[in-house]
Structure 1
Amino acid sequence: MNKKFLTYNMEVNGLTQEVRFSADAVEKIFMPLLHELTDLRLTMDRKVVAYLVAPPGSGKSTLAQFLEWLSRERGEVDNIRALGMDGFHFTAAYMSATEIERDGEKILMRNIKGAPETFDVDLLVDKIRQLRQDGTDWNVYDRRIHDVLPDYMSVEDDIVLIEGNYLLLNEPTWTNVRVLCDYSVFIDADASVLRERIISRKMMGGSSREDAEKFFNFSDARNIERVLKNSARADETWKLLPDGDFVKQ
């Protein structure tokens, strides 16, 4: 049976793109999550912070923005605010001037941008704590300038959904992020599917296939493995299929 997909245009990370999700995923996976978060807010005396965690290349930023749009489109659930973790990268200037050890060699942090070590975790923890109480100004990563915009947007929403790779990571420092979550969703995916998605995305951005594959093998592949192997168990797990659809596990 052919799948029915919903298609629309939306802005993600400063770029406009067309996205699609299956009708089944919307009604049987996404909407139940929004109802869960709405119900959770009714039981708490503070704001709800949920995590959408996924390996690189899974489309988590797009999905989070879609869930925000869906919550506002459907009057039966509370509105959610989608936020990204990428705004808590160290600045481009800092990463261009700071060395980090990788495989016994010192390299500039910018060469592994996107790895867990390239994030200001302490600042992220502080901001999430503020979100849980009175709200805060949130950092944003702008792909047009490839840098962080500190305190770019004010967030006072009752339900926030933070998307990122490492929010559930069972590694030192990152566990301080994990404990601040009220509800979590993890997106599982086959590494081969993620590889092709990432390489295609880099080529669309102007990279040759050779350069895209080289960077993937040096950086992205390691990040994917860390997320898939070292993330704590989430409240829900969704599987990303090769056609971009999702199923609940």
Structure 2
Amino acid sequence: MSDKRWQNYDMTVNGLPQKVRYNADTVEGLFLPLLHRLTKRQREADRRILVFLAAPPATGKSTLLLFLEQLSQERADLTETQALGMDGFHYPNSYLETHFITRGGKEISLKSVKGAPETFDAEGLAAKLAAAKAGATPWPIYDRRIHDPRPDAMTADAPILLIEGNWLLLDEERWRSLRALADFTLRIDAPPALLRGRLISRKVQGGLSEAEAAAFYESSDAPNVERFAAHAGAADEVWRMEADGDFVRAAR
């Protein structure tokens, strides 16, 4: 029987109250020490710093960064952080529907592989990150009500900006230049079988049958999971997601 001290935490996600569950020992032994290290780095630099969190789908990275943001705001000994996502840099659907790539010898629309690296404006993301490092700057979000990005929906202006996304550390052309903009990088790894189960469960909860969810995973999610595992790139620190959703720091 697990002796982990699971605890529910009250958060606001997308403007709505929500409870999230984390291991209290992980909060004390992993999350808070990270925030203390980032606080020290930001205060020594005496400027805004950028922190990248790269993680595959279904690792809860967006919620995790919002939780870290909340922790930083609740404690006077921590510098304020702000959680930002790279999903606002998806190309709009109008672009995805009219641009194509070749996969498996077939030409397919970018819309059919939405979420893959090719469906993001990596150059626009790089320019926005550079601007955010220099000063307060408008930041786009991905609006799930319209399934399209919404430009300049918020302002990136905290002393520590936490940016999450699948491809921030991707070791491929168009993406490698991003790393130089980061002051600290964190990567979360997870076994593909665990991610498969979590992603299929997410689709079933959304209304798909088990067979439909499995088929969607194989056609859409699996290539991204495999690409992340093969090309995620190195990071200053690596965490591992465990089967129960907890996080541990990976051995160097």
Structure 2: distance between partners of 1:39 and 1:208: 48
The corresponding residue for 2:19 is 18
Structure 2 counterpart of 1:246, which letter?
F
What is the correspondence of 1:23-38 to structure 2 with a 5 Å cutoff? 23-38=24-39
Structure 2 counterpart of 1:139, which letter?
P
The corresponding residue for 1:199 is 200
Uncovered stretches (5+) of structure 2, i.e. residues with no partner? none
> 1:47-106 CA deviation, whole Å, 9 max, x = no partner?
100011101111111111111111112222111000001110001222122222221211
Inter-CA distance 154–183: structure 2 relative to 1 (3 Å threshold):
same
Structure 2: distance between partners of 1:200 and 1:144: 21
The corresponding residue for 1:166 is 167
Mean Cα displacement is larger for which, 67-76 or 121-130? 67-76
The corresponding residue for 1:76 is 77
Q: Report percent identity of matched pairs.
A: 47
The corresponding residue for 1:209 is 210
Check conservation: 1:191, 1:224, Cα contact below 8 A.
Answer: yes
Q: Give 3-state SS (helix, strand or coil) of 1:77's partner.
A: coil
> 1:172-215 CA deviation, whole Å, 9 max, x = no partner?
01001122111011111110110111111122222222222112
Inter-CA distance 208–12: structure 2 relative to 1 (3 Å threshold):
farther
Mean Cα displacement is larger for which, 117-126 or 45-54? 45-54
Mean Cα displacement is larger for which, 203-212 or 124-133? 203-212
Structure 1: distance between partners of 2:97 and 2:11: 32
Structure 1 counterpart of 2:135, which letter?
D
Structure 2: distance between partners of 1:55 and 1:16: 25
The corresponding residue for 1:51 is 52
Q: Give 3-state SS (helix, strand or coil) of 2:107's partner.
A: strand
Structure 1: distance between partners of 2:191 and 2:12: 26
Uncovered stretches (5+) of structure 1, i.e. residues with no partner? none
Structure 2: distance between partners of 1:200 and 1:13: 22
What is the correspondence of 1:40-189 to structure 2 with a 5 Å cutoff? 40-189=41-190
Structure 2 counterpart of 1:175, which letter?
R
